[in-house]
A and B are shown apart, each in its own frame.
Chain A
């Protein structure tokens, strides 16, 4: 059963009357009848963790917002620019009201005055659809002043980015929304603190998928949500499968499902029957690559189990590569992404990605040496942990882990 991709089960759920006929806005109604603190407690008890990559407990994040501050905001991260990620797009295209309802519940829980949905610029048509949804909700007194007679006021707006992966990083997103360069901020103060959020006010930033889970949690209750998944990873997750499988696409399954179930039963196995799987990037370009061994295939897709195999589930943008793929080429592709997307603010990230890209190109051209391979591994190791935001760490991952797991793929290109 889908909790998130309900557009697949219920035709026209993107229309307000259909959404409401299927329980839509019951979660908000129920929340408005509770105190904000009670709503936060339910979300805490559900075990919901952020789906934007880091997996931070959502209710805990909301509880960081200082109650006494008069002005607070919710910002929805709909930047969806991680390589291999296309889940938020389907939620917003096919089930937009559920995202808005989840955002409004979050807004009520922290008593925010407004919600800003930050969409990647390419999603302008989704932005138009969301604007139409917001207008329809205003007619029904579900957005605006005195929502459903509760005395609570909240506005919802959309904002379009313009092509910059870094704006998915929450503090860069806030800068971009304020009309400054979309570069990360020095923290503290964190977005949840006065001085660190949107317009310097305390702000919750949550991913689209995270918030789309909230209406279910409020209507069905925290235990129903917690019953799905594993001990530390509750609920369903949307897995975006791309690359060398027969049926690439989004799959919504409980957390804790094995990679084998996802890749073979759901996605149909290797694209070409005679070309076995070789490697997997489970969290787009930014998480560590792993060889697709039996041990990995039998691993459960949860925060805790993926740590056990040296990687992360992150946003679950699962990119699959078969035996024909050269991991030096993969390292090059991913490095080019981070070189292009580095915002340039810190030297190790700006210069490091530039230099790594140059040397990998040289290796791929057959002009590299074994020393070059060692050197890029060193540079990557030194980049990690030295930068203002996590992009610097992300950029180190493809180098460190392709070389660690697939040394032969590099050795074949270089003279000793």
Chain B
């Protein structure tokens, strides 16, 4: 599909454009919409955002590249971002991150062969009293340990298989 002319996004785009004094200000919310549609910020999405805002695609691309939450390549179905910043690391987050990569057989930033999981480490997520913790597709999952994580991975696997 596309985001332009897609009834799923029409109202949201209108609402964002109405919020700001300039069209350009809507570039961040629109990039989120492009990411939602395509799974990552690809050149189609960048082109459409540029078209809606009357910007040059290279300008939109540089904005997308500046921020870590816009993905410039496809990720696994479950994008796991483990916080390994200092407070979490004091509670064992480095070991947890290493274990998780091992458990899934991926390197930093890598995606499992079945396309389900991408593992990355990130900086402080404002959940330092609930370490170890991660974000799965930007949802907080806190107070983790290996057991809890194994159960979650199993749940996500069956969820993915169930949906085909």
Mark A residues whose CB is within 8 Å of B. 80-86, 88-89, 120-125, 157, 159-165, 176-182, 199, 240-244, 248-250, 281, 284-285, 317, 319-321, 325, 330, 333-334, 337, 340-341
Pair B85/A337 contact, Cβ less than 8 Å: yes
Nearest opposing residue in chain A for B129, CB measure: A248
Residues of B within 8 A of A320 (CB): 90
One of A121, A178, A182 near B24 (C-beta < 8 A): A178
A-B contact pairs, 18 of them (CB 8 A): A80-B126, A83-B85, A121-B69, A122-B125, A122-B138, A160-B29, A162-B32, A164-B67, A164-B68, A181-B66, A182-B66, A242-B87, A242-B90, A242-B128, A243-B87, A243-B90, A248-B128, A319-B90
Contact flags B8-20 to A (C-beta < 8 A → 1, else 0): 0000000000011
In this complex, the member of B69, B86, B90, B127 whose beta carbon has the largest number of chain A beta carbons within 10 angstroms is B86
Contact with A along B102-145 (1 / 0, CB 8 A): 00000000000000000000111111110100010011100000
Contact between chains at A160 and B123 (CB < 8 Å)? no
A-B contact count (CB 8 A): 126
In the complex, how many residues of chain B place their beta carbon closer than 8 angstroms to a beta carbon of chain A? Answer: 39
- Closest residue of B by beta carbon distance from A332: B86
| Cβ distance A124 to chain B, nearest Cβ, rounded Å | 6
B31 interface hit (Cβ, 8 Å): yes
Name the distance in Å between A332's Cβ and chain B's nearest Cβ. Answer: 10
**Is A122 a contact partner of B69 (Cβ separation < 8 A)?**
yes
Contact indicator A162/B129 (Cβ below 8 Å): no
Q: Which residue of B lies closest to A344 (CB)?
A: B66
Pairwise interchain contact A120-B126, C-beta atoms closer than 8 A: yes
Are A179 and B24 touching (Cβ within 8 A)? yes
Q: Indicate if B52 sits at the interface (CB-CB under 8 A).
A: no
Closest Cβ–Cβ distance, residue A204 to chain B (whole Å): 17
Bound complex: CA A178 to CA B27 (Å): 9
B159 at the interface (CB under 8 A from A): no
B25 contacts the other chain (Cβ, under 8 Å)? yes
Known: A162-B68, A325-B90, A337-B85. A86 touches B28 (CB 8 A): no
Given contacts A121-B67, A333-B85, contact A165 B123 (CB under 8 A): yes
Say whether B123 contacts A83, CB under 8 Å. yes
Contacts A84-B87, A124-B138, A319-B90 given; 13 further ones with Cβ under 8 A?
A83-B124, A121-B69, A122-B126, A123-B126, A157-B20, A161-B69, A179-B53, A242-B87, A242-B131, A284-B124, A285-B86, A337-B85, A340-B123
Please tell me if B62 contacts chain A, counting CB pairs below 8 Å. Answer: yes
